[in-house]
Amino acid sequence: MAGPILTPKALARHPKPTKTYTAAYDRPMSSGPASERGTALPRARGHVLVVDDHEALADNLREIILEEGSIDVTVRGSGEAALAFARNHGFDVAIVDVKLPDTSGVELLPRLREVVPDAEIILITGFATIDAAIAALRGGAFALLLKSFRPEELKSTVEQAMVKVALRRERDWLERRYRALVEVADVIVLGIDRRGEVVLANPKFTALTGVPPTTARGESVERWIGERDRAPFLAALDDVAARGQPRELEASLISDGASRVIRWHLSAEHEGLIFAIGVDVTERRALERRAANAEALSTMGTLALGLAHEIRNPLNAAVLQMHLLGKQVEREVASDTARASMRDRVQIVVGEIKRLGRLLTEFLELARPRGLARERVAIGEVIDAVIELHAAEASQRGVTAERLDQGVVPPVLGDREKLRQVFVNLFVNALDATASGGTVRITTEQLGDKVMVDMSDDGCGIAEADLSRLFDPFFTTKPGGTGLGLSIVRKILEQHGGALSVRSRVGEGTTVRVELPVAPPDSATMTPP
């Protein structure tokens, strides 16, 4: 009889030789019917199904196999009975008589295979012809045994079949595990070949980019790396390929209209592939940036509060002086052209001083801690009022404002005036971005316990490089801008337990999404402290 066959793993666990197909694996030895595979309860004992209508012989077979001590045996007398058993319980190895009352073993073989694809089947026959042997092997039988076999021969064949089944299941199991690791991991996994083309992409990549793995395959990876980071990313890939050393770097991933900051680990090359494992650190980086901004703001805020009057008084005086100067010019300058030119200059200076005044007001707004009123606010009404307030400006610019309520939108709990300020800022930004003929669409909708307001414009959009800086105080691309609008908006929303997100595509437009919690049904109204 063949000695026990051991895998290294089994040896490690069982210093004394033990049969691998018994308790050596900590996962199902017997798999159930195909539909249940992978969820079957672990069964350490092997299971042999004997299909033979000859009772005495079947008993004989069972006795021999049971001598193993670690194998259960079930006997069925017909093809149908065997199939029924296989469907309900599965098996590891079947020993099937070629001659059965309702079918032949050769015909039964593929049907059993279908039910339990990872099991092995041994055919037995009383008279082996070459044809029978060929048919058995074609059908995928593990072995064909003549009924004159010796018990050792049977035991050894069963044992080898068991080992084969166990190894196959271990391989499948490992493969499933590895696949699950790649599929469910909350990190991006990309397999990249020497030409920089994507060979493998996992669902996290799809979740972030909206690109299914099949579409990504064969495409150059640089397509999804942000423009500024493309060259360093490709250089890092080259470096990994050349030196065989893993690398780490941060590079953005272009996702559906937005950009995510990804910390990449580039693995050393393995069988022609470099694995790029990416962790999305967008939120972490944003938090760090906000912490830094908040610190800067609070320092500057104290300073600004102290200086506010000092600055505002001279500014007011300057406006007054300019006003007087303007009058004097009208009165005393004789030449028309000289007067017009001086008037223009005076207006420019007044405009700049006003801008400084606005900057100061907005900055103080950001820096000064103030309590919130809490009342039930119908957000639609606030937005309607904002649109109405800017209707003249919008029509002057040739921009259409549309509003859409998706279903019934419940009230939120908040400070009406501050919320108005939020939508004024966002609406003015949208107007500024939109060319004549364009549209600003404001949609409100309840999603779970949140009210969502989407402010969408089909304007110029925001460059990818600017997206991460939008909320930085003083970041502006407008000649007269203060760059404080979005910082204020975000601060107000945070005070309301809400949030703000921006999606944009250059040349296509921008959607700013405001999220506010729905007011609890019995929420009381409070006034600010």
Contact stretch for ligand ADP (CB under 6 A) within 69-77, 164-172, 376-384, 477-485 = 477-485
E strands within 392-486?
400-406, 412-414, 439-447, 450-457
Residue from 22, 209, 429, 444 touching ligand ADP (CB under 6 A): that is 429
433 is a site residue for ligand ADP (CB under 6 A): yes
C-alpha span between 300 and 294 (Å, rounded): 10
Q: 199 — phi, psi (to 5°)?
A: -105, -30
Minimum CB distance to ligand ADP smaller for 157 or for 421: 421
Contact stretch for ligand ADP (CB under 6 A) within 116-124, 193-201, 401-409, 482-490 = 482-490
What ranges in 31-150 are assigned the alpha helix state H?
Answer: 55-66, 79-89, 105-115, 130-138
Rounded to a whole number of angstroms, the minimum distance from the CB of residue 474 to ligand ADP is 9
Say if strands 120-125 and 143-146 run parallel, antiparallel, or are unpaired: parallel
Residues 439-468 that bind ligand ADP (CB under 6 A): 457, 459-460, 462
477 is a site residue for ligand ADP (CB under 6 A): yes
Minimum CB distance to ligand ADP smaller for 439 or for 477: 477
Minimum CB distance to ligand ADP smaller for 340 or for 506: 506
Rounded to a whole number of angstroms, the minimum distance from the CB of residue 437 to ligand ADP is 16
Nearest CA to 514 out of 451, 471, 468 is that of 451
277 is a site residue for ligand ADP (CB under 6 A): no
Residue type (1 letter), 405: D
191 is a site residue for ligand ADP (CB under 6 A): no
Minimum CB distance to ligand ADP smaller for 94 or for 470: 470
CB 430 within 8 A of CB 393: no
475 is a site residue for ligand ADP (CB under 6 A): yes
Q: Which x/- pattern over 486-515 shows residues binding ligand ADP (rule: CB under 6 A)?
A: x-----------------------x-----
Minimum CB distance to ligand ADP smaller for 64 or for 430: 430
Residue from 425, 443, 444, 468 touching ligand ADP (CB under 6 A): that is 425
Nearest CA to 228 out of 1, 463, 438, 508 is that of 463
Rounded to a whole number of angstroms, the minimum distance from the CB of residue 223 to ligand ADP is 24
Residues 99-158 that bind ligand ADP (CB under 6 A): none
E strands within 169-228?
188-192, 198-201
Minimum CB distance to ligand ADP smaller for 75 or for 297: 297
Minimum CB distance to ligand ADP smaller for 138 or for 478: 478
Minimum CB distance to ligand ADP smaller for 91 or for 427: 427
C-alpha span between 287 and 266 (Å, rounded): 25
C-alpha span between 407 and 405 (Å, rounded): 6
Rounded to a whole number of angstroms, the minimum distance from the CB of residue 286 to ligand ADP is 15
Query: CA geometry: angle at 410 spanning 406 and 414, to 5°?
Result: 125
Beta bridge mates, 307 = none
Residue from 48, 162, 430, 500 touching ligand ADP (CB under 6 A): that is 430
Which residue's Cβ lies closest to ligand ADP? 485
CB 286 within 8 A of CB 231: no
Nearest CA to 261 out of 275, 288, 280, 236 is that of 280
Q: 50 — phi, psi (to 5°)?
A: -100, 125
CB 516 within 8 A of CB 493: yes
Nearest CA to 259 out of 197, 209, 190, 206 is that of 209
Beta bridge mates, 71 = 46
Contact stretch for ligand ADP (CB under 6 A) within 27-35, 294-302, 378-386, 471-479 = 471-479
DSSP class of 97: E
Minimum CB distance to ligand ADP smaller for 52 or for 458: 458
* Residues found near ligand ADP in the complex (CB under 6 A): 425, 429-430, 433, 457, 459-460, 462, 470, 475-478, 481-486, 510
